[in-house]
Structure 1
Amino acid sequence: MTKTFRMDEAQPRLLDETGQGIVGAPLDRPEGPKKVSGRAHYAADGLPEGAAHGVLVRATISRGRITGIDESSVSGLGGVIGVFHGPEFLRNPAQGMAGEAPVQPGDEVHYHGQPIALVVAESFEAARDAAQRLVVSYEAEEGVETDPASASALEQDDPETAGDFDAAFAASEVTLDRSYATAPQVAAAMEPHAAVAEWEGDSLTLRGALQMLRFNKDELADSLGIPAEKVRILAPYVGGGFGSKLGIGPEAVAAALAARALGRPVRVVMTRQTVFDAVLRRSETSQRLRLGADRDGRLRALSHDDRVSNIEGEGFAEPVSQASQFLYGADGLSFAQTLARVSRTPAGSVRAPGEAVGMLALEQAMDELAEALEMCPVELRLKNLPEKNPMTGQPFSATRLADCLREGADRFGWADRKPMGSRREGEWFVGMGMASAARSNMLVKSAARVRLGADGAVVETDMTDIGTGTYAILGQIAAEMLGLRVEQVEVRLGDTSFPGASGSGGSFGANSAGSATFLAAKAIRETLAGRMGCSLSELTLQDGIARGGNREMPLSELVEEELVEEASVEAGDTSESHFSSGFGAHFAEVAVHAYTGEVRVRRMLGVMAMGRILNEKTARSQALGGMIWGLGAALTEEMAHDPRTGHVVTRDLANYHVPAHADVPGDMTVVFLEERDDMANPIQTKGIGELGISGAGAAILNAVRNACGARVYDMPATPDRVIAAMEAAGS
């Protein structure tokens, strides 16, 4: 029986009392040797016997409908088994949080590159050749809108407000009104999207590259018209996701449908170009920031309006102003969003949706206001930190943003920052910049099962590890709670036959799956305490020894038969009474070439308060990865579309520029401040994966401004844009 726990009150800090010393330690990933030696099997590895190969056929028009697919155009090609198409194949990826119904467009085409059919052959090469040759006829629409800047189909939300912004802005002594733009981005995970489908009777087993199996199982069953209990998904290793694998995708649906029709396994793997063409993008944004303040730097008014895009029918809209609504206090606040409907690849959740692009604008605007006030940017932020969420009135459950700002400034040598444009080394201008970081924290329903035997323990949950360290942290939690060495704990993940977890997304995976594992292990501790004749609070489990009730005995002797407990955790009253968020501060030093506009990031520092750290090594890796992504958003990443057709021009990693080793400074430091969030979850943690990106790019762009006077409003700040901004500033 599953024991369900609701987060209704502040939780005791049991992990601070267990004394095993495993939680928080910078331990290696237990699956690391398998990954570096190629023995970790990802979705497309290890084909079942008799497997066929499928390649997706994609639309060559921007908008319209399919009028015919001529199967005879490829039927004579060697190795071709069949062509599969129909309404079920015209499926766009699920948007936003997994579980939302994706668009099922019938015979409609919504964007150039949309998957519309599947060709299956005996080899990948034959399937690829046939997919390119397949003749498809269309009825194309005229005047298709592909450019968000000129789109006429607009949806405007009512503004979200607190106080009277207009009055507060009018009464402000110093005001700022600026517009910023960010380019579309793409989640180009190392492992392309892939699926292998195999049927046994009326039951399906799918090996997939997916992030949220509990939801994906229901989505896939719905797509196939079968009960969810007839679907099993396996995803023990996922090579990155960043939001692009949250929902079920066309490769999984197509593979399952074709395999059922053929009575044999089918594998579908997207090429890198198909990933760029057909998988979720982060929307471009146009943002307007209006800030008003008194001469002493106190914010009176804050407004953050934005415009984003998506295809028709999709409910997701990039939550651009998410952090702006709680990061700083003001008398009047206002936030409004406009959604443009265009024929481009669907927009959805990409790492840190909202903050990743919204804080690029907000934190530059704060620096511009500090400049207008002739005030230190750090001091301006410190002066305006609210005690409660300004929009909801909820008290923060735990916040150390002020400490992050002060600690970061001290460690980075902020006091040595020179006036704008005054530090030059040969042909390079050098400057410093900073920004706050914020990412709201969540607890999502999640379950786990823990088994304790005489020789060790096993953790079972369908939680995924997308490279973030789930195998490590769940093993550490179980070992800490049960007094075992971490080597004595086996963690089994990525199988929907296990209890359903939150999945990996939104930085809630460790909070949620970790709490479920903790609660299941705690239930086992309660049983052991009963056997020791002591209360739970009196029980100590350390190094394989149980102590309590004036007794001491080996744990292996106390466990006569395997003890099994399953626990589930979900959000409760504390999510309404308090607001939980991770906070931090980013600092950057850059060099800007006076003649080419090239920007080189010399060093970066992130100081973060992220609740309890479960594994210092994996947490630091996550924070560093986010900071590097912030560097890319600021300087290099730009998904380009042809405005005539809407098709993606930068379709691979040769043309879409993510930061390479040469772009990333060797001096990148992450500092975690000690913090516990008793209102967040039973293990007092906060999400890590997305806080690192939030604000990091703005710190770099603020450093560019300090270095050479250039302020780039159309991001990323590529050399041509930096040169133009330098010329405009007279640098």
Structure 2
Amino acid sequence: MSETGKPISRIDGRMKVSGKATYSAEFNQPNMAYAFPVRATIAKGTIASIDDAAAKKEPGVIAVISYKNALKLKPLDMPAQMKAGAAFLGENLPPLQDNVVHYPGQFIAVVVAETYEQARTAAYKLQVRYTVEKAAVDLKTELPNSKKPKMFMGEEAQVHEGEAAAPLAAAPQKVDHTYSTPAEHHHPMEPHATVAVWEGADKLTLYDATQGVGLTGAIAAYFFGLKKEDVRVIAPFVGGGFGSKGLWLHTLIVAMAAKTAGRPVKLALTRQMMQTNVGHRAATFQHVALGTDAAGKLSVLRHHTDTYNNLTQFFEPSGKQSLVLYKAPLREVTYNVAHLDRGTPTFMRAPGETPGTFALECAMDEMAYQLKVDPIEFRITNHTTKDPMKGHDFSSEFLVDCYRIGAERFGWSSRSMEPRQKRNGKYLVGYGMATATYPGGRSAASVKVMMNSKGDVTVMTASIDIGTGTYTVLAQTVADALGVPVDRIEVKIGDSSLPAAPLAGGSQTTASIHPAAMEAGVLLRKELIALTINDPDSKLNGRKPEEIGYASGKLFVTGDEKKSDTYLNILSRAKRNEIEACATTLPVSGAGLTVPSALCTPSQTPPEQNSDTKQYAFHSFGAQFAEVWVDEDFGTIRVKRFTSVQDVGRIMNEKTARSQIIGGVIFGIGAALMEATEYDKRWGNPVTRTLADYHVPVHLDVPPIDVHFIGKPDPHISPIGARGIGEIGITGVSAAIANAVFNATGKRLRDLPLTPDKFFDEQYV
């Protein structure tokens, strides 16, 4: 694998910096109209009336669509949606189907006009009267009415409920604290946008900012009653998603508008709509208790989360990592979920693990300090090489190496156990660390590889590049499979008409599509070998396939490269303009570590075939280290340097992988120090409305970030041995920073974000 792993610059980079990369809102169509949605101004109630007379009189208005005249969509039906592959929704609320309002900002109408400005102007002329009901707007107030969900994503939600109390009471050493995290929003650089084009009554094309063209297509096909193959979704470039793109039903609104207008329609969400209509990370209160024996070995771990949801079964699963990390004989992980009348919470970069590692890893630091044990050594003492719940070995695990290497690279040995021991002028200096973890997922995927008579290669799959480097790494994988230069490879992705691939979420893209890409390359190479060894005019005629090697665009006899045949000559003599191969691979363990299914057949992995999860637990691990400087006069916190060491299997491209971890760390710095969405406790609407007042890290907030990979292939996840890295980079970051703040100041700040006001609050000691 000579190309795999190299720090090759992105092959799509020049297109992006030159403006030639086309994003969803840029697929302008002939005779295109524009849609602008109208949002509810109440948190709960019903629409008593909509007066659209003034709006319709505005110049350029084509249509005003609301529940009164909207196209009727197929109703929610979970069994039918699951069968159609359309069960994975951001919120269970088909748009514009009734007059009920469930949260502030809910889309209640849409205006279609000749220009964007005309549509937006007319939208504000719509007169809406409501019958207002009392809304649930505050988590603490609603917790007494919360429920205990039985399941989360097919797993038991309440684990060993009530069993931790007795062992905690008996533990010689214990810590027991509550940690909180606020509501946070994704805010990718590219807001959500869709262009809808109908061909007749039953063929629909959507140019959509989505993390999964297949999923978006399946959702549209289900609700419009179309055949899945009659909906095409195109998203060659996506400007970030972080979990927010592909599940939301504004795509149905623009398709409804296009059908009503009888012409293509574009809808682009505003930044304000990004705060209300495409999900967010729900706030949490997390109660974590740890008990150890006198030697510092964990005897019990309890992690309880209070959070909320609305219009979905999803809730922030902040106890996930507490079921994976550390060796504790008993662990209790439980949830209470309240209902709030606010925009629906959803998946956001490392859902569960991001707020969960903050609470757990701060508690681990508190226990280490109480025991007067180095935080790294405390973690190593309680390290486990098996999944604590299932008893399976981890498929590949080098967490202790992450601790050791990270400590050496960071200079951890100069850290003082006691706080307030380091200064730099007026700044208190502290060191903190935390564990990072995220599951290693893999799904079925299909990839087609085609070579033309000039030796140019095209790779095709419906996967998505959300800024992670998929274009580049796919080219590297196929270059190794065929022995051709990366610059001779074109990658086509982001189109549902291409071979099926999973949603670009859950850090599964690399582990899913690259085995299929490698398999397709192998199949194509085998066909080339068959052509040449059966060709009387070839120097390789009569040779056995196992004798043939490959490199630099040719086949040759292993050990005697003078006896060779180029791909171009093979195709020329065979009178073939092109040759192609397509492969679908399923994630199963055993011989070969992958099972090709019928070529390029979209397929869900049958549970009985997914035997790898019955033998191994698939997780990635890492260690995060932060140095902070705290201004004692003003309470401001600066992260001055950061080290992240990650065990994520084989590294497919050192440069793009490093960029992903850097992005995750920056995301974590934002969560630690500044990010929070504030809601009006009277009316329930977000008062943090745009990026102007939702603070994210800028250049001066970001320190030098040292990234190191263990780089050892996972021998069980696939023949390639790579796990995903898009989400693990954020996990543990906020805890490492909070722990460093304690080391610097002696103050335990248990509520994110760590803003200066908390530094002076007397409740923090």
Shorter-chain TM-score range: over 0.9
Q: Quick check: 2:161–2:334 contact (8 Å CA) kept in 1?
A: no
2:356 pairs with 1:319: no
- Asked if 1:599 corresponds to 2:637, the answer is yes
2:136 is aligned with 1:145: yes
- 1:291 aligns with 290
What's the counterpart of residue 301 of structure 2?
Answer: 302
Query: In structure 2, how many angstroms separate the alpha carbons of the residues matched to 1:728 and 1:116?
Result: 44
Which residue, out of 554, 562, 567, partners 1:555? 567
Query: Which residue type is aligned with residue 191 of structure 1?
Result: E
- The counterpart of 2:60, out of the listed 79, 89, 98, is 79
> Which residue of 2 is the match for residue 579 of structure 1?
617
> How many residues are aligned here?
704
**Cα distance in structure 2, aligned partners of 1:433 and 1:410:** 14
State the partner residue of 1:655: 693
* Cα distance change of structure 1 residues 537 and 694 upon mapping to structure 2, 3 Å threshold: farther
Equivalences for residues 82-481 of structure 1 within 5 A: 82-86=63-67, 99-101=87-89, 102-104=91-93, 106-141=98-133, 143-151=134-142, 152-157=144-149, 159-161=158-160, 165-202=164-201, 203-250=203-250, 252-311=251-310, 313-418=311-416, 419-454=418-453, 455-481=455-481
Tell whether 2:16 aligns with 1:25: no
Q: Is the 8 A contact 2:86 2:218 kept in 1?
A: no
What one-letter code is carried by the residue in structure 2 that aligns with 1:369? M
User: Partners in 1 of 2:323 and 2:92 — Cα distance?
Assistant: 30
CA displacement at 1:104 relative to structure 2? 2.8
Mapped partners of 1:356, 1:539: distance in 2: 49
Confirm or deny: 8 A CA contact 2:393 2:616 kept in the other structure: yes
Shift of 1:468: 0.8
Supply the distance in 1 between the matched residues of 2:656 and 2:104 (Cα, whole angstroms).
Answer: 39
Contact 1:323 1:440 in 2 (8 A): no
In terms of mean alpha carbon deviation, does 200-209 or 484-493 score higher? 200-209
> What is the aligned partner in structure 2 of residue 40 from structure 1?
21
| Matched residue type, 1:118 | V
Say whether 1:589 aligns with 2:627. Answer: yes
Between 1:616-625 and 1:681-690, the stretch displaced more is 681-690
C-alpha distance 479-645 of structure 1, shift in aligned 2 (>3 A)? same
Q: Is the 8 A contact 1:187 1:241 kept in 2?
A: yes
- Cα shift at 1:162: 9.8
The match for 2:46 is 65
Distance in 1 of aligned mates of 2:305 and 2:623: 24
CA deviation map 1:365-404 (0-9, x unaligned): 0000000100000000011111211111111000000000
1:594 is displaced (CA, Å) by 0.4
1:302/1:333 contact within 8 Å kept: yes
Note the alpha carbon deviations across 1:153-209, whole angstroms, 9 max, x for none: 411135213995344323321011110000010000101110011111131111110
Distance 1:153 1:456 in 2: 63
The one-letter code matched in structure 2 to 1:45 is E
Per-residue deviation at 1:547? 2.4
1:12-67 CA distance string (max 9 Å, x none): xxx4xxxxx11110011111111111111111114111111110101111011223
Residue pair 2:624, 2:733 contacting (<8 A) in 1 also: yes
1:605-643 deviation line (CA, Å, top 9, x unaligned) = 001111011111110000000001111111110011111
CA contact (8 A) 1:162 1:391 kept: no
TM-score by length of 1: 0.93
Aligned runs of 1:688-707 on 2, under 5 Å?
688-707=725-744
| Aligned 8 A contact 1:50 1:265 in 2 | yes
State the TM-score, normalized to the length of structure 2: 0.89
Q: Percent identity?
A: 39
Letter in 2 for 1:688: I
Q: Which amino acid aligns with 1:331?
A: P
Q: Once the two structures are superposed, what CA deviation does each residue of 1:427-475 show, in whole Å capped at 9, x if it has no partner?
A: 1100100001110110122211111233121111111111111110111
Q: Which runs of 5+ in 1 are unaligned?
A: 1-14, 16-20
Moved more, 67-76 or 575-584: 67-76
Moved more, 314-323 or 398-407: 314-323
* 8 Å contact from structure 2 (residues 161, 333) kept in 1: no
* Alpha-carbon distance in 2 for matches of 1:583, 1:226: 43
Give the letter aligned to residue 139 of structure 2: P
Q: Which residue identity does 1:553 align to in structure 2?
A: D
- Residue aligning to 2:30: 49
Tell me by how many angstroms 1:248 deviates. 3.9
Aligned to 2:586: 570
Matched with 1:12 is: none
1:676 deviates by 1.0
- Secondary structure of the corresponding residue to residue 48 of structure 2: strand
* 1:548-593 CA distance string (max 9 Å, x none): 4664222222344322111112332112211011111010100000
Partner of 2:494: 494
Match of 2:523 in 1: 523
Q: Between 541-550 and 515-524, report the one with greater CA deviation.
A: 541-550
Taking the aligned partners of 1:537 and 1:335, their CA distance within structure 2 comes to 53
Contact kept in structure 1, 2:758 and 2:764, CA below 8 Å: no
| Residue matched to 2:658 | 620
| Superposition deviation, residue 518 in structure 1 | 1.5
Letter in 2 for 1:243: G
Bigger mean CA deviation after superposition, 263-272 or 526-535: 526-535
Would the aligned equivalents of 1:462 and 1:503 in 2 still touch at CA under 8 Å?
A: no
The structure-2 alpha-carbon separation of the partners of 1:338 and 1:539, relative to structure 1 and needing over 3 Å to count, comes to farther
Higher relative contact order (CA 8 A, sep 6+): 1
Q: Secondary structure at the match of 2:194?
A: strand
Q: Secondary structure at the match of 1:278?
A: coil
Q: Kindly report the root-mean-square deviation, in angstroms, between the aligned alpha carbons of the 2 structures.
A: 2.1
Larger mean CA deviation between 149-158 and 274-283 belongs to 149-158
The change in CA–CA distance for 1:556 and 1:450 in structure 2 (over 3 A counts) is: same
2:714 corresponds to 1:677: yes
Q: Tell whether the 8 Å contact from 1:99 to 1:216 is kept in structure 2 after alignment.
A: no
Residue 295 of structure 1: how far off its partner (Å):
2.1
For the residue of structure 2 that corresponds to 1:458, the secondary structure is strand
Paired with 2:747 and 2:46, the residues of 1 have a C-alpha distance of 47
Q: 1-side partners of 2:457 and 2:291: how far apart?
A: 57
In structure 2, C-alpha distance between the alignment counterparts of 1:536 and 1:314, rounded to whole Å: 54
CA contact (8 A) 1:582 1:691 kept: yes
Q: Secondary structure at the match of 1:133?
A: coil
